[in-house]
Every structure is written in C-alpha cells, then in structure tokens.
Amino acid sequence: MMYQSFAPPKRLLMGPGPTMVHQRILDASSRSTIGHLDPTFVVLMDEIKHLLQYVFQTENYMTMPVSAPGSAGMEMCFANLLEAGDKAIVCINGVFGSRMKENVERCGGSVVVVEDQWGSPVSLEKVEQALKDNPDVKVVAFVHAETSTGALSDAQALTKLAHEHGALVIVDAVTSLAGVPLMVDKWKLDAVYSGSQKCLSCFPGLSPVTFSEAALDKVGNRKTKVQSWFLDINLVMGYWGAEGGRSYHHTAPVNALYALHEALLMVHEEGIENAWARHQRNHQLLVAGLKQLGLALLVEKPYRLPQLNAVLIPDGVDDAASRKNFLDNHGLEIGAGLGVLAGKIWRIGLMGQASRADYVERCLTILKEQVATVD
C-alpha cells in the first residue's frame, strides 16, 4: 500500500460547525512551532486571554482556551462547579442539554430536568418553578444557542432567576460566542464554555472558557478534589495564569493557538458588535430567500439564531439524498436534523466566515434546484 498526503476536497461549510476557516487562520497555524514555555509564546498566551476577554465581554481573570474541543470546556465547568450530592437544574430543549444532564450525573450530582420542546427557548416560568420547588439547587445549566434546533434562550433572564435563588449558572455558549450578543460580565454569567470552530471560525479542537469570581469561590470552597486532573481549574490556571510565572501542566497545542489567536484578531479587527450585526444581516438575507422558495423555519422569529437556521424539509424531498447531492455535486455541507428532528430539518449554519452574502446566495441557488425538482 502506497500512502499519500491527504488532500481535502473543497467544501463550502454551512452546517453546525466546523465552519469556513479563513486562509489567514490556516496560514497562522503553519508557522514554525516554538516551545510552549518560550517567552514569546507566553506573550501570545497573554494576548489570547485578553482577546478572549474581549469576545466574551468580560474582565474575568480566569478566561482561557481549554486544549480540547467544546465538550471538554463543558466537562471543565461541571467537574469544577459540582461536587457529589450537589443538585443542579438542567434545561433541555435540544441535544446539548441532554449532555449537560449526563455531566451532572457523572459528577455525582442530582439532576432536576426542565424540559422544553425542541425548537423553543428555555422557559423562564418553568425554571422559576423548578427553583421554587428545589431551594437546595446549586447550579442552573442551560444552552444559550441550541445548535441542534436553532433556538436562542434568554441567558440574562435565566441567570437573574438563578442568582435570585442563590444558584450559579453554567452556560453553553459554544454556538453563541461571536455570533449573537453574549455579555458575560453584564449578564453576570458564572461558568461559560465555547468552541473554536463555530462563530470564531477557527478549526475545531479548542474550548474557550471563562469563570466569574462567584464560580471560582464555589470551586475554592470544595470539600473534595476535582475528580479530573486534566480539567482542574486550579492546576490549569498555574499554566495559563500570569502571576508568579507559568508552570508546566500539559503541552499547549502551540500551532492551534497561533490559529486561535489569528481568529480572535479577526473578530477584534471587525469589532464584536459588527460581527453580531453581520450575522444578523446575512440571516435576514437567507430568510428572505427561503421564503421565496416556499421554505419555512422551525423556530419562531424572536428566538431564531442568525448563525444556525433550522429549515423545515418540504414534503416529497428526500433528506439524505438531497444532502448527498449538495455535497457531491456542489461541495456544500449543511447539517442534518438530530434526534426527534432527524429527517425533518436541514440546519444551515451562517457561522463566522461562512456568514457572507455570496455564500448565502450560493446556498439558496443550490437549494432552489433541489426544491424545484419536487412534483
């Protein structure tokens, strides 16, 4: 067998992530590897922390990228904030809420589930009732932007409710970060995790996280050690922290961090508010085009995510065959429906670099051909 270097096909990534990665970001990752404790690398780490504070809109000292995908950021939040016996409310309105439930259980916590229909936001009334019914709840966990359905929940209001009842929040901001307003300090969010491959438009494999003072207090008051050595904030912070120098914890993914730095730089150059506005603008463009094609969206207007559009597949259109056609004949990748929405929706992602008017037009042209073949 003769092996050859891998040559990926040209794709237009308009699914739930990874999304289009700008050449600048790819180029950054191909620069010479240096030591992960090299003084110049330490400067880069500091810049990454500052740029992450900017995109998260926070001054939280404990803000950094976990050296693993979004799911690891999720594990870090749960593993540090929850101890065995702690009770947590987990809001489930799609795939990712179920994973949070699984995390609480694996931390030895007990779960109160607040369930909402897939495609709807998390209900404030239900969460308030659950908090009243369970005065011993320590943490409320919810997904800000549900990528499996395209629904946006009110992170600020949910956090206010949780705090009124003495609970902290864990927020999944994997898809929301840099795509819709996310104000960590203003909304007083406690533990927040995201991913590199959605609206930041980097490649997958890194998970930006940020922790408030209140969250760090909770960690500081633990009676037991965090059960995960790799994800223990105190240990990771010895590496990412600024004061007193860095100590080796693990070897940071040096070149991936060059890429993340470049991706963050691009958001900073554009301005985070402008990035949010661009996502909104291209979403409107897509929605107008879908309407002309007679295609409807799953989520009601006020809760629609601009960066993840769940389109109802019209009767008579074969889901799998259509997506195969998009990919094979047009190089276009869009997402399939998950769970109860499998076969019912397509998920069109306009995340980060993929949120561009010309991509929206291309996607609409391809969809038009598919929809026109029905009858």
Ligand X SMILES: *Cc1c(COP(=O)(O)O)cnc(C)c1O
Task: Pick between residue 69 and residue 331 the one whose CB is nearest to ligand X.
Answer: 69
147 near ligand X, rule: CB under 6 A: yes
Q: How far is the CB of 35 from ligand X (least distance, A)?
A: 27
Residue nearest to ligand X (CB): 70
Looking at beta carbons only, is 37 or 113 nearer to ligand X? 113
**150 near ligand X, rule: CB under 6 A:** no
* Minimum CB distance to ligand X smaller for 12 or for 145: 145
Minimum Å gap between C-beta 297 and ligand X is 18
Q: Which CB atom, from 192 or from 364, has the smaller least distance to ligand X?
A: 192
Q: Give the residue, chosen from 12, 15, 17, 162, that forms a contact with ligand X under the rule CB under 6 A.
A: 17
Q: Is the dihedral of CA 348, 349, 354, 358 positive or negative?
A: positive
76 vs 226, beta carbon nearer ligand X: 76
Between 41 and 198, name the residue whose CB sits nearer to ligand X.
198
**Considering the rule CB under 6 A, would residue 174 count as an interface residue with ligand X?**
yes
Phi then psi for 113, rounded to 5 degrees? Answer: -95, 130
Contacting residue, 37, 87, 126, 204, with ligand X by CB under 6 A: 204
Residues in the interface with ligand X (CB under 6 A) total 12
Exactly one of 83, 116, 172, 232 binds ligand X (CB under 6 A); that residue is 172
Closest CA to 11 of 322, 333, 321: 333
The reply to whether 306 sits near ligand X by the rule CB under 6 A is no
Residues from 86 through 115 that contact ligand X (CB under 6 A):
96
Binding site for ligand X (CB under 6 A): 17, 69-71, 96, 143, 147, 172, 174-175, 195, 204
